[in-house]
Each structure stands twice: as structure tokens, then as C-alpha cells.
Amino acid sequence: MIAALVAVSAALVWRRDGTSGVLDILTHDLSLFGGILPRVLAGCLLGAFISEILPHEKVSRSLGPKSGLKGLLIGTAFGAILPGGPFTAYPVASALLAVGADFGATIAMVVSWTLIGYGRAVAWEIPIMGTDFTLWRIVISLPLPVLAGALGRFVYVRLYPTPAAKDDET
């Protein structure tokens, strides 16, 4: 699906700008890809190590379905301090899910990473949008990860009434 979308877009660029337009974008994106690759590797390694070294019982106690508000707050804090971009956040979130965190805490972590994580704010938002807007937006966003995690947990329990029993079977 993405391949088709890319092919259509590339064809449209070619019709508008000719071959040089297509090549310009290709070289730019290739260099971007080259820059991202080592970070993707770092993210994958980080996720693998974390899922290996975190004690499962401890994670499911502090981030599992019964962890309450504290679990959501831990998820939020974890998402906010996690270094790197999507190449770290998603492998790590996936690792947390695998070792016993529930959807609520993981949602809190992912949302916190997208909204208050410092990586993107420092690298992109402050230079482009300005410090005032960025800080103000982050202050507004502070409660959102916890709310999203709470809503996620609330809905999840009602959608899948006995998730614990299902997990035990696998």
C-alpha cells in the first residue's frame, strides 16, 4: 500500500519537475535514510536489552493492569525521558508490552513520548516554532498522557473482559 502511494507520488513529481526533481528528492531521502540507520539499530538493541534485563514480575506489578495511577505516571515519566526518536520509542514500548506492561501504561508512555519527550522538542520544535510556543504547548500537554492511559485502560477492560486469563494460555 505504501509502495503504491510512493510510486504514484513519484510519478506526479516526475510529471511536474522532470527527472531532476525526482533525483533531487531521492538523493535527499537516501542521505536521510543513511543518517537514520544507525539510530534504528540502536533502538532495536535498546528494546532487546531492556526486554531481557527487566524482571517480568516487577514490570507487571508496576506497569500492569493493576498498577493504578502510579503505573500511568511511571509510563509517562519513562516516555518523557526516553532518548531518541521513533526508532527507540516503539521498540522499547513493544518490549514493555512483551514483559507485562498493560495497554494503559504503554499508551501513557507512547503518548508521553510524542507529546512531552524532549528529543523532538529540542531538535525540531524549539528551532522552528520558538521556545515560548513550545514550552507553553508542553505545559498544556502534561496531563494528556495520564488521561490517555487511563482512558485506554478503562476501555480495554470493557472490550476484553478477561485479558489475564487469555494471556495465561499463550
Partner 1 sequence: MSAALLIDILLWGSVYGVGLIAFRRGPQVFKASLREGSMDFINIVPRIALGVIGSGYIAAIIPQEVISGWLGPDSGWLGVAAAVIAGAATPGGPVIGFSIGTVALKSGGGVPQVVAYVVAWALFAFQRVILWEIPFMPARFVWFRCAVSVPFPFVAAAIAMMIGKP
Q: Per CB under 8 A, which of residues 54..73 are in contact with partner 1?
A: none
Report in angstroms the alpha-carbon separations of 34 from 27, 41, 63, 124: 10, 12, 35, 19
Per CB under 8 A, contacts with partner 1 among 9-38 are 9-10, 12-13, 21-22, 25-26, 28-30, 32-33, 36-37
Residue 97 touching partner 1 (CB under 8 A): yes
Q: Output the smallest distance, CB 76 to partner 1, in A.
A: 13
List, in order, residues 6 or more apart from 40 with CB less than 8 Å away.
87
Q: Which of 128, 63, 118 lies closest to 88, judged by CA?
A: 118
- Judged by CB under 8 A, the stretch of 56-64, 65-73, 137-145, 161-169 that binds partner 1 is 137-145
Query: What nine digits make up the cell of 156?
Result: 480495554
Instruction: Determine the Cα–Cα distance for residues 158 and 160; give it in Å rounded to an integer.
Output: 6
Residue 151 touches partner 1, criterion: CB under 8 A: yes
77 near partner 1, rule: CB under 8 A: no
Site for partner 1 contains 155 (CB under 8 A)? yes
Nearer to partner 1, 74 or 120 (CB): 120
Return phi, psi of residue 119, to 5°: -55, -55
Question: Which of 5, 20, 165, 169 forms a contact with partner 1 (CB under 8 A)?
Answer: 5
